[in-house]
Amino acid sequence: MTEPTRDRVLLAVIGGAHGIKGEVRVRSFTADPEDVGAYGPLSDAAGRRYTVASARVQKTVVVVRFREVADRNAAELLNGTELFVDRAALPDEGEDEFYQADLVGLVARLVDGTVIGEVVAFHDFGAGDILEIAPEGGASVMIPFTEAAVPEVDLELGFLLVEPTAAGLVAADEDAPREP
């Protein structure tokens, strides 16, 4: 996955062509999947712009027609393309709300201050938001991104706090975190 800059936020990924008219299946990271075109033109990593002409939810994806994509052949070439939007086009986050792009790269600390790694990805497998944390020299761990598991996020200082029991890193009757 491409590293978004602080000026651009990853909004969607094209999963493949849909039909013969140039439509594509898109995995949208917006709160309302159909809002994939609500923030203005999208752009890929190379800076090519895409304007959403239409979008509709179909099962687990959004089927999108871009003005710049004329047919299925052109749509097939976009498979796997990440689509970004200018951060300035997005609404301000509410209190205790964060853009996923802002969480990646934060240092993850236990509530006692022990550094456990860095947030390397944000996932949603359908059962809730998950942070992937990579400890130095170890295998990644996945923790739920809930208020109980992550009681504090400080974007300015670049860290988040993890409550080990709520995050599933220790059993309720254990004192020390499990090895990731």
* CATH numbers and ranges of domains, the chain: 8-88 (2.40.30.60), 100-162 (2.30.30.240)
Between 160 and 93, residue with greater pLDDT: 160
pLDDT for the residue numbered 97: 83
State the Cα–Cα distance between residues 62 and 83, nearest whole angstrom. Answer: 13
Quick one: tokens of 48?
Answer: 């090519």
Q: Is the pLDDT of residue 19 over 90?
A: yes
pLDDT tens-digit readout, 126-140? 778 899 999 988 899
Query: DSSP code of 102?
Result: H
Q: What is the mean pLDDT of residues 36-40?
A: 92
- Interatomic CA distance for residues 99 and 30, integer angstroms: 10
- Residues with Cβ within 8 Å of 146's Cβ and at least 6 positions away in sequence, in order, are 128, 129, 166
d(CA 134, CA 136): 6
User: What is the largest distance, in Å, between two alpha-carbon atoms of the chain?
Assistant: 60
- Tell me how far apart the alpha carbons of residues 48 and 78 are, in angstroms, rounded to a whole number: 11
- Give 124's pLDDT tier (boundaries 50, 70, 90): confident
